[in-house]
Amino acid sequence: MKTLISEKEIKQLVKKLADQINFDYKDKKPILVGILKGSIVFMSDLMRQLDFDLEIDFISASSYGGTKTSGEIKILKDINCDIKGRDVLIVEDIIDTGLTLSHLKKILESRGPKTVKVVTLLDKPSRRKIKFKADYVGKVIEDCFVVGYGLDCDEKHRQLPYIAIFK
């Protein structure tokens, strides 16, 4: 496997995102909603650099029938908190087709939050099947499959401290 993003670069990307988010949310008390499972490593690093009051929750979703082309997703584990009137920041590891996030965002928006924004560590815009733009993007990457730093291939390689191209 070839390293695409080193530990040092990941730290810089997380710091850059945290600086932007600290600026935008300084007077707010958002709920960070991590998308399981891939976002947990990124979320734990990001939240430790945020200097405002926050809460965390998690959501887990999968596409129906195991295909990412159906455009429909199924919630496997929902958040536990009430987001009505709250600022919600969805934390994602990578955006690929955009289907998961665009559906999850709509589901959360239907519950009456004040705002819903998205932060993603990685983005593969060339793979989009639906128009979707995150509010905060760590790094745009080419069309390749990556593992490490929470990202998996069949549940493997999540624990790598760097991000590698999986062949």
Residue owning tokens 């560590």: 121
Residue number, 1 or 28, with CB nearest to ligand IMP: 1
The runs of H, that is alpha helices, within the chain are 7-24, 40-47, 99-109
CB 151 within 8 A of CB 124: no
Return the residues of window 8-47 that contact ligand IMP according to CB under 6 A: 35, 38
Q: Which of 78, 96, 135, 143 is catalytic?
A: 96
- 87 is an active site residue: no
150 binds ligand IMP (CB under 6 A): no
Strand partners, 120: 92, 137
Q: Are the CB atoms for 89 and 52 separated by under 8 Å?
A: no
Among 5-13, 20-28, 80-88, 144-152, which window interacts with ligand IMP (CB under 6 A)?
A: 144-152
For ligand IMP, which residue of 21, 88, 94, 119 counts as binding (CB under 6 A)? 94
Taking CB under 6 A as the criterion, which residues in 54-73 touch ligand IMP?
Answer: 68
Q: Is 134 in the site for ligand IMP (CB under 6 A)?
A: no
Residues linked to residue 60 through DSSP beta bridges, in sequence order: 36, 77
Q: Pick from 96, 105, 137, 164: which binds ligand IMP (CB under 6 A)?
A: 96
Distance CA 119, CA 121 (A): 7
Expressed in angstroms, the distance from the first to the final Cα of the chain is 7
Q: Which residues bind ligand IMP (CB under 6 A)?
A: 35, 38, 68, 92-101, 145-147, 151
Residues forming the active site: 96
